[in-house]
């Protein structure tokens, strides 16, 4: 049976063949979009192309793409010098913002793309693959998604391939914004939310360094911007709307797919720090079940502690958690003793090993306990010294049981296990101004411990003056109260 192709003359067929080969070459070398210089060329609504003007091709958009009209992907990154626990706090800022943003009609299909984890400063172990790690290595993505529309980086690439534009596996990022602080932050002594694109100095890809996001081989950025930014995450909506307006030529482009990148996102402040929105996002950050199981097995075997014996609340879903203040904890004390750069940069508030041991032993005697679990970045030599200082007590420290487990957990996973063990202790004492300590405070607040057993800080010396971390109690809410009228004009 003959096909129904239109009757084309020989010259027309030659022209068609030339266009096809030229377009394919342009996509392969990644120049098709960059040479045009117009980010509207990468809309990705459905790639129709010139063939539909010549041949009667059927519509090619799959149903899952048609249901994502107007999708906006927000990639973000954090300065490479920032650690694991500060990055978790930056995630909360972005997640709370995106959760509220999706209530706007134009952003109803917004996605927050989680950046691959680079090899961080504190991950010292050699011989481990510790760069480009997905968020699923550390966190339960299903739990995160029940709070905000997030995608792991590989999931983002998979969705981009559905659109087929500009040519898988390349991904066109319409605008990349490098956020930076104002040199003068106060106006007549007043802090004001504001931002402005930098026009008084050159801004290029080289000036956007600071995080590894743009090193991902798949990303092709259309326009770079340096932006002075001062304020909370909600201010980002205006920045994104300006970019969408620049990329929209007319009504036919309104619902095109957009992809934008926000670099140095640690510059952005919380919209809702410490309130119920912050705590809902924080509660949704359940660790990966594999890591939670390793911690549970260790608590049971080394510390004779289970969820039931500790009296903590840990329902299957974070949404089922309720206010609680009667958790008992296991029969051990946890001490987070920060060493490393704190010994040099925070000498005024960081105790010596001997001073820390004196404080812990005093607490153990006061609570009639004999076991201390130690979470620390101390060197092997320092650990040996600490064991000698606790010779009449039982000092417990987590270490992977095999090289296989070490390769599976990696340094970041070992730190997560440390936090989960500290979270179940009868009493906790942490290091002044350590984000690792802050995250344990938060975990214990969620589990239902008293503030007196949680918000404790090592002093520089036993009996001396002491700087203490602030108390940040959990805030509960019966339901969301963040709905707003949609003022989006389109």
Residue 427, domain CATH: 3.40.50.11350
Tell me: is residue 84 an annotated ligand-binding position: yes
Residues 414 and 350 in one domain: yes
Last-in-domain residue among 276, 300, 334: 276
Residue that is last in its domain, among 255, 276, 297: 276
169 cis-preceded (ω within 30 degrees of 0): yes
Residues 6+ apart with CB under 8 A from 134: 114, 116, 117, 152, 153, 154
398 appears as a binding residue in the annotation: no
The residues, any chain, with a CB within 8 Å of residue 153's CB and separated by 6 or more, are 113, 114, 115, 116, 134, 135, 216
419 shares its domain with 379 = yes
Is position 30 within any domain?
Answer: no
What is the predicted pLDDT for the residue at 268?
97
pLDDT at 202: 76
Q: Does 407 belong to an annotated binding site?
A: no
Q: Is 81 annotated as a binding residue?
A: yes
Residue 26 lies in a domain: no
Residue 35 is predicted with a pLDDT of: 38
Q: Is 338 annotated as a binding residue?
A: yes
- Report the percent of the chain where pLDDT is more than 70: 82
Catalytic positions, written as ranges: 82
Is 83 labelled a binding residue?
Answer: yes
- pLDDT (tens place) for every residue of the chain, 490 residues total: 444 444 545 555 555 555 555 544 444 444 333 333 444 444 444 444 444 455 554 556 677 777 788 999 999 999 999 999 999 999 999 999 999 999 999 999 999 999 999 999 999 999 999 999 999 999 999 999 999 999 999 999 999 888 765 555 689 999 999 999 998 887 767 889 999 999 877 776 665 555 789 889 999 999 999 999 999 999 999 999 999 999 999 888 888 899 999 999 999 999 988 999 999 999 999 999 999 999 999 999 999 999 999 999 999 999 999 999 999 999 999 999 999 999 999 999 999 999 999 999 999 999 999 999 999 999 999 999 999 999 999 999 999 999 999 999 999 999 999 999 999 999 999 999 999 999 999 999 999 999 999 999 999 999 878 999 999 999 998 654 444 444 454 5
Is 82 annotated to bind a ligand? Reply is yes
Give the number of domains in the chain. 2
Residue 352's domain comprises: 287-453
CA neighbor of 297 nearest in space, from 287, 284, 307, 311: 307
CA–CA dist 4, 172 (Å, integer)? 36
What does the alpha-carbon distance between residue 285 and residue 287 come to, in Å, rounded to a whole number? 6
Strand order in the sheet with 425-429: 394-396, 371-376, 330-337, 425-429
pLDDT at 190: 84
Q: What is the mean pLDDT of the chain?
A: 87
pTM for the structure as a whole: 0.85
Residue 469 lies in a domain: no
Does residue 56 belong to any structural domain of this protein?
no
**Residue 399 and residue 349 share a domain:** yes
Residue 64 marked as a ligand binder? no
Whether residue 160 lies inside any domain: the answer is yes
């Amino acid at each position: 049976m003959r096909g129904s192709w239109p009757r084309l003359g020989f010259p027309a067929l030659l022209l068609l063949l030339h266009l096809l080969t030229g377009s394919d070459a342009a996509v392969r070398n990644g120049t098709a979009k960059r040479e045009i210089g117009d980010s509207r060329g990468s809309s990705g609504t459905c790639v129709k192309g010139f063939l539909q003007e010549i041949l009667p091709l059927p519509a090619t958009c799959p149903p899952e793409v048609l249901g994502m009209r107007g999708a906006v992907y927000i990639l973000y990154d954090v300065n490479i010098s920032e650690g694991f626990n500060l990055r978790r706090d930056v995630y909360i800022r972005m997640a709370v913002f995106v959760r509220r943003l999706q209530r706007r009609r134009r952003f109803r299909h917004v996605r927050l793309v989680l950046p691959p984890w680079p090899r961080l400063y504190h991950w010292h172990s050699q011989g481990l693959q510790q760069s480009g790690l997905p968020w699923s290595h550390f966190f339960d993505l299903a739990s995160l998604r029940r709070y905000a529309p997030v995608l792991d980086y590989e999931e983002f690439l998979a969705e981009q391939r559905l659109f087929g534009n500009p040519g898988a596996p390349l991904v066109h990022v319409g605008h990349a914004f490098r956020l930076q602080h104002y040199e003068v932050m106060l106006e007549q002594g007043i802090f004001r939310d504001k931002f402005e694109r930098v026009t008084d100095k050159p801004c290029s890809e080289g000036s956007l360094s600071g995080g590894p996001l743009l090193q991902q081989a798949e990303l092709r950025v259309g326009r770079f911007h340096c932006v002075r930014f001062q304020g909370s995450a909600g201010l980002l909506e205006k920045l994104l709307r300006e970019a969408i307006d620049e990329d929209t030529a007319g009504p036919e482009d309104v619902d095109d797919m957009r992809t934008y990148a926000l670099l140095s996102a640690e510059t952005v402040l919380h919209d809702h720090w410490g309130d119920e929105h912050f705590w809902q996002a924080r509660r949704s950050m359940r660790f990966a079940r594999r890591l939670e199981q390793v911690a549970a097995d260790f608590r049971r075997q080394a510390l004779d502690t289970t969820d039931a014996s500790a009296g903590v609340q840990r329902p299957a879903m974070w949404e089922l958690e309720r206010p609680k203040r009667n958790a008992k904890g296991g029969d051990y004390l946890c001490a987070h003793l920060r060493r490393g750069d704190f010994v040099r940069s925070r000498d005024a508030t960081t105790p010596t090993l001997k001073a820390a041991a004196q404080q812990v032993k005093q607490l153990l005697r006061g609570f009639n306990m004999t076991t201390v679990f130690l979470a620390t970045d101390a060197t092997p030599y320092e650990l040996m010294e600490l064991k000698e200082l606790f010779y009449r007590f039982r000092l417990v420290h987590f270490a992977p049981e095999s090289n296989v487990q070490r390769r599976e957990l990696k340094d970041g996973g070992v730190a997560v296990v440390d936090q989960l063990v500290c979270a179940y202790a009868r009493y906790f004492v942490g290091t002044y101004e350590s984000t690792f300590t802050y995250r344990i405070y938060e975990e214990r607040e969620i589990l239902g411990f008293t503030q007196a057993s949680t918000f404790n800080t090592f002093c520089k010396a036993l009996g001396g003056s002491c700087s203490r971390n602030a108390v940040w109690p959990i805030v509960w809410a019966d339901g969301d109260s963040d709905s707003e009228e949609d003022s989006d004009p389109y």
